[in-house]
């Protein structure tokens, strides 16, 4: 059942590094993370990898396998041929700390920049009433396990370090959409989505949707509807006139 | 020590799961400068693994539900060994804690009239679990995380610094608490990334570190669950109770080997899934214990009617408390009626339409499809017991979470008493919130009442540092590999102090643990302190070993079977044992376990039960008194 698999794993730090070759046992039913753990236990005790639940629920073990952004714990070895070399590298968009572990603090910084849920005034805890069909839109986005693979794959920041300052990435633009679609949230984040969080930089290539391990339709259900809301607000002449005439009221 | 990084806070919370984050929110709202220290990234704690829901008697689906009914169910589930005051506070406050989550932005599944939907679960008389599909834990952790961020935004608006009052130190491990004359003075630990040491000076510490499952071979727990808080408390002089009670969740995955132990939510059964053996028989009807006979159906027809008409039918026995179901599965497999890979079959495919399964159990569908190549809408799952939860933990004051060590508090899985000998599903998430909040408040009040702050002495800090670097200084010749030692520990606990126990085996376990402890003294790790998993494991092993010893020694002493403690040689429940707690303390490196009387249940709470039911649990003189 078991076989000797060929692995190439990126090893190094922020000062540089490279791919190292390993031959390692692979058994039936295993995932890539199992093999990385075997390397730790038998050949490279100081190989750094981030992981936690090992069931695709916590989003810790994000990396790139043969160039594709994936969770190490949800990538079965059976998808590779036995003689295929499996190359494991850290996420490319974030600075490497060591080996497969990257500095994902960009994401935590962006999370803080999105204004939080604003509870409805005058509605006491326990009195919230919402219909299932209305909560489902935001619930889809709340399935997000924050693996940050979408932000990692998004070319707006993957290929353009300079955009990081002004772009929240698909994960946090989706957070804006989630709050905007929350039936009881009272804040308005539509203008800021464009002006503060960089929604305009997204040109809907759907790369984020493709890599989402939770199969959230980030582009279709979060980003495009947000773009439509921004467009309605900006270019609808009646809304424009209303804003001009009544802006002192708001 | 020029390189030592130092921070000073009012309240330190160790652990960033449900209990830790709720405690931190409370402490911050009490005006305390609060730090959260966690081993993983913020938002990744083990709470995300909770699937089924959060138990709270809101009565949204069945208006007969109330805190009294929830209290009764909790006490029954724990076989009356629970700390009744904790069970009372928990049942009374859980609804408020759930509603509060909605003010943080949580979005639970809804009833038709727009309230929070509630589902059935093992041991709960009415549909009681608020849920979001089968990813309730994720919703809970994310809501708390987002509340933390929202408080940080408030602080930013006021002070210009997001972290002026509430700061998260992630990927940080605490190795020792620092005491000053028996009082908490701070905590010492290392950045996992750089290996650099840090001293946190703080007069109050809330332990919220979760459980101990990584001491067992087959477990649903992640690498973080190494009993850190249990061990920190012991070394600081606090006591642990109920350590003999370890919950084996009846349904973990059994195949493929690499995912063995990963949880299969109880909601599968709550929503209609049934257990069958290799003969295709629904075997749970053969395992209804005497104490539950009047609550559970003894035939399939009645059990199946219950889903639609719970008022006039008894519940299906698949929904018995977890300890009962786990033992039943164990017996079926032992009797040769197991599945190919040593489990039994859990089938929902013949019970619900495929689209209903996809709606209610999406992450289970995903998990089996991706990891085992099984489509649960068309095929049964193979499942077997997996080490899931420790009922035992730090002995605390129910109202404040205070341990016997001044300044040391505990909440959530690391605390003991709330769940007695067995926890009901859904009672964990509510426990985290109810007692996380109480511990946060308790720690804040304690700090507010101090006239002088305890001091971390240089000697104590130097000692903590020596302990932490010890694995690097062993001589290679006789040095032990931490991975090997860990595997041996897990095997020993699984084989000798597992789901079914007997005296000879536990004796053997205690001896084996002594030997492992001796060998652990010569652990050697290679490399340097920067992100070195071998070193991390070596330090975690120190905790796992002492906690395992508590489990083994307490289990050996308790000569009865109750909840999560099943003895082949003492199969019955003994009313005299219900009145006794086994209390573990640490002197030097040896664990001591002594009996302590359990506080009698308050009379108005006792009056919530029928006399006939109490007779099954209490001694004759308790019933008279």
* pLDDT tens per residue, range B601-617: 999 999 999 999 999 99
Place of tokens 């050697």: B524
DSSP secondary structure string, B391-418?
A: --EEE--TTT-B-SSTTEEE-GGGEEST
- Among the partner-chain residues A34, A56, A99, the one whose CB lies closest to the CB of B367 is A56
Q: Which of B36, B40, B96, B110 to mutate to test the interface with A (most CBs of A within 10 A)?
A: B110
pLDDT digits (tens, 9 = 90+) for B388-413: 999 999 999 999 999 999 999 999 99
Average pLDDT on B450-467 reads 97
Residue A175 or residue A236, greater confidence:
A175
The C-alpha of A52 sits at a distance from chain B's nearest C-alpha, in angstroms, of 6
* B477: pLDDT strictly greater than 70: no
pLDDT at A1: 65
B191: tokens are: 């950045």
**Which residues of chain A lie closer than 8 angstroms to B257, CB-CB?**
27-30
Beta-carbon separation of A135 and B109 below 8 A: yes
d(CA B226, CA B247): 16
Whole-angstrom distance, CA of residue B131 vs CA of residue B140: 10
Q: Partners of B183 in the beta sheet? A: B180
Residue B476: pLDDT band with limits 50, 70, 90: low
Contacts of B193 in chain A (CB under 8 A): 97-98, 101
Q: What is the average per-residue pLDDT within B38-51?
A: 94
- In angstroms, the CA B34 to CA B18 distance is 16
Question: Which 294-333 residues of chain B touch chain A by CB within 8 A?
Answer: none
Please give the interface size between A and B, counted as residue pairs whose CB atoms are below 8 Å apart.
159
**Cα separation, A62 vs A161, whole angstroms:** 20
Q: How is residue A219 annotated by DSSP?
A: I
> What pLDDT score was predicted for residue A246?
67
**Are the Cβ atoms of A179 and B105 closer than 8 angstroms?**
yes
* Chain B stretch 240-269, residues whose beta carbon is closer than 8 A to a beta carbon of chain A: 255-259, 262-263
User: Which residues in chain B have Cβ-Cβ distances shorter than 8 Å to A125?
Assistant: 96, 99-100, 102-103
Residue bearing the bigger pLDDT, B507 or B371: B507
ipTM above 0.85, yes or no: yes
Verify whether residue B282 is a known catalytic residue: no
Q: Which of B114, B152, B531 sits opposite A101 (nearest CB)?
A: B531
What number of residues does chain B have?
Answer: 625
Residue-level pLDDT at A182: 98
- Is the predicted pLDDT of residue A248 greater than 60, yes or no? no
Cβ separation B193–A98 shorter than 8 A: yes
Say yes or no: A39 contacts chain B, CB-CB below 8 A. no
Q: CB burial class (10 A; 0-12, 13-18, 19+) of residue B294?
A: exposed
Residue A101 contacts B where some CB pair is shorter than 8 Å? yes
A52 at B interface, C-beta within 8 A: yes
B167-199 tens-digit pLDDT: 999 999 999 999 999 999 999 999 998 999 999
Residue contact B107–A130, C-beta within 8 A? yes
B249 is catalytic: yes
User: Of the candidates A60, A112, A130, which has its C-beta nearest B40's C-beta?
Assistant: A60
pLDDT, tens digit, for every residue of B187-242? 999 999 899 999 999 999 999 999 999 999 999 999 999 999 999 999 999 999 99
How many whole angstroms separate alpha carbon B438 and alpha carbon B450? 19
Tell me: pLDDT of B2 over 60: no
pLDDT at B218: 93
> Does B132 touch chain A if contact means CB atoms closer than 8 Å?
yes
pLDDT of residue A232: 87
Residues A44-100: tens digit of each pLDDT: 888 999 999 888 999 999 999 999 999 999 999 999 999 999 999 999 999 999 999
CA-CA distance, B228 to B410, in Å (whole number)?
12
> For the segment B58-104, what is each residue's pLDDT rounded down to a tens digit?
999 999 999 999 999 999 999 999 999 999 999 999 999 999 999 99
Residue B475's pLDDT is 60
Number of CB atoms found within 10 A of residue A201's CB = 18
What is the nearest CA distance from A69 to chain B, expressed in angstroms? 16
A116·B153 Cβ contact <8 A: yes
Question: What is the token pair recorded at B70?
Answer: 């929830």
What's the rounded mean pLDDT across residues B109-137?
A: 95
Measure B315 CA to nearest chain A CA, in Å. Answer: 27
Question: What end-to-end distance do the CA atoms of chain B give, in Å?
Answer: 61
From B192, B249, B419, B423, active-site residue: B249
Nearest CA in chain A to B258: A30
B142 part of contact set with chain A, CB < 8 Å? yes
Q: How much is the pLDDT for A249?
A: 41
pLDDT at A147 over 50: yes
Given a cut of 50, whether residue A177 has pLDDT beyond it is yes
Position A101 scores a pLDDT of 95
> CB-based contact (8 Å) between A97 and chain B?
yes
For chain B, the average pLDDT equals 95
What pTM was estimated for this model as a whole?
0.94
pLDDT at B17 over 50: yes
Q: For residue B541, how many other CB atoms are within 10 A of its CB?
A: 25
Give yes or no for residue B370 having a pLDDT over 90: no
pLDDT at B1 over 50: no
Average pLDDT over residues B537-547: 97
Please tell me which residue in B46, B269, B322, B567 is annotated as part of the active site: B269
A250 pLDDT higher than 60: no
Contacts of A182 in chain B (CB under 8 A): 105, 107
């Amino acid at each position: 059942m078991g076989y000797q698999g060929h692995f190439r794993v990126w090893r190094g730090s922020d000062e540089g590094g490279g791919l190292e070759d390993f031959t390692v046992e692979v058994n039936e039913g295993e995932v890539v993370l199992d093999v990385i753990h075997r390397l730790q236990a038998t050949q490279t005790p100081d190989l750094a990898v981030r992981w936690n639940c090992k069931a695709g629920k916590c989003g810790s073990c994000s990396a790139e396998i043969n160039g594709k952004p994936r969770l190490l714990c949800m990538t079965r070895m059976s998808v590779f041929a036995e003689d295929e070399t499996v190359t494991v590298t850290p996420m490319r968009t974030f600075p490497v700390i060591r080996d497969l572990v990257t500095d994902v603090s960009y994401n935590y910084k962006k999370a803080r920049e999105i204004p939080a849920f604003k509870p409805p005034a005058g509605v006491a805890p326990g009195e919230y009433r919402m219909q299932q069909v209305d909560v489902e839109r935001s619930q889809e986005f709340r399935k997000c396990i924050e693996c940050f693979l979408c932000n990692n794959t998004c070319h707006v920041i993957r290929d353009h370090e300079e955009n990081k300052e002004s772009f929240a990435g698909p994960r946090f633009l989706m957070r804006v959409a989630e709050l905007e679609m929350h039936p009881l949230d009272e804040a308005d984040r539509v203008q800021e989505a464009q002006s503060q969080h960089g929604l305009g930089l997204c040109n809907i290539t759907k790369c984020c949707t493709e890599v989402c391990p939770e199969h959230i339709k980030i582009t279709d259900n979060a980003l495009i509807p947000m773009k439509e809301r921004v467009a309605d607000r900006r270019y609808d002449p009646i809304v424009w006139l209303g804003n001009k005439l009544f802006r002192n009221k708001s | 020590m020029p390189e030592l990084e130092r921070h000073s806070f009012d309240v330190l919370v160790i652990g960033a799961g449900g209990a830790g984050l709720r405690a931190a929110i409370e402490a911050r709202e009490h005006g305390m400068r609060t730090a959260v220290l966690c081993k993983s990234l913020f938002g990744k704690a083990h709470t995300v693994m909770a699937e089924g829901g959060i138990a709270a008697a809101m009565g949204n689906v069945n208006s007969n539900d109330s805190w009294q009914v929830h209290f009764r169910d909790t006490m029954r589930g724990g076989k009356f060994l629970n700390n009744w005051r904790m069970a009372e506070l928990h049942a009374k406050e859980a609804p408020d804690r759930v509603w509060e989550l909605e003010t943080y932005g949580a979005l639970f599944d809804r009833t038709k009239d727009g309230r929070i939907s509630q589902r059935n679960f093992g041991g709960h008389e009415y549909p009681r679990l608020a849920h979001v599909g089968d990813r309730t834990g994720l919703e809970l952790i994310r809501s708390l995380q987002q509340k933390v961020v929202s408080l940080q935004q408030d602080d930013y608006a006021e002070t210009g610094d997001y972290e002026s009052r509430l700061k998260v130190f992630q990927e940080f491990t605490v190795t020792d608490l620092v005491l000053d004359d028996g009082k908490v003075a701070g905590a010492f630990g290392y950045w996992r990334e750089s290996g650099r040491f840090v001293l946190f000076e703080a007069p109050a510490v809330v332990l919220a570190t979760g459980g101990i499952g990584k001491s067992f071979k087959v477990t649903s727990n992640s690498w973080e669950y190494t009993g850190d808080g249990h061990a920190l408390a012991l070394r600081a002089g606090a006591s642990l109770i109920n350590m003999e009670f370890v919950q084996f969740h009846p349904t973990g995955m059994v195949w493929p080997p690499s995912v063995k132990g990963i949880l299969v939510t109880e909601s599968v059964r709550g929503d209609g899934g049934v257990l069958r053996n290799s003969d295709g028989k629904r075997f749970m009807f053969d395992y209804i214990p005497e104490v539950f006979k009047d609550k559970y159906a003894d035939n399939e027809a009645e059990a199946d009617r219950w889903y639609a008409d719970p008022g006039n039918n008894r519940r299906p026995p698949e929904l018995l408390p977890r300890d009962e179901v786990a033992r039943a599965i164990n017996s079926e497999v032992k009797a040769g009626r197991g599945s190919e890979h040593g489990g039994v079959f859990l089938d929902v495919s013949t019970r619900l339409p495929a689209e209903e399964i996809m709606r209610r159990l999406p992450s289970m569908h995903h998990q089996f499809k991706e990891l085992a190549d099984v489509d649960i809408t068309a095929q049964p799952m193979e499942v077997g017991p997996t080490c899931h939860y420790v009922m035992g933990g730090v002995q605390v004051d129910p109202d404040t979470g205070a341990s016997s060590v001044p300044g040391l508090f505990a909440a959530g899985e690391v605390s003991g008493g709330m769940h007695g000998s067995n926890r009901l599903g859904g009672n964990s998430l509510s426990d985290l919130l109810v007692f996380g909040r109480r511990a946060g408040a308790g720690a804040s009040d304690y700090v507010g009442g101090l006239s002088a702050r305890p001091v971390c002495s240089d000697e104590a800090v130097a000692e903590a540092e020596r302990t932490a670097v010890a694995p690097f200084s062993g001589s290679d010749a006789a040095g032990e590999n931490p991975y090997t030692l860990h595997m041996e520990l897990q095997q020993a606990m699984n084989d000798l102090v597992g789901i079914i126990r007997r005296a000879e085996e536990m004796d053997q376990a205690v001896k084996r643990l002594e030997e492992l402890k001796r060998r652990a003294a010569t652990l050697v790790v290679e490399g340097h302190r920067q992100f070195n998993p071998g070193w991390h494991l070596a330090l975690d092993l120190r905790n796992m070993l002492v906690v395992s010893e508590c489990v083994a020694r307490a289990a050996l002493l308790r000569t009865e079977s109750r909840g999560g403690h099943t003895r082949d040689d003492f199969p019955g429940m003994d009313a005299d044992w219900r009145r006794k707690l086994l209390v573990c303390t640490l002197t030097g490196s040896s664990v001591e376990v002594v009996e302590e009387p359990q506080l009698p249940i308050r009379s108005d709470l006792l009056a919530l039960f029928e006399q006939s039911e109490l007779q099954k649990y209490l001694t004759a003189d308790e019933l008279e008194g």
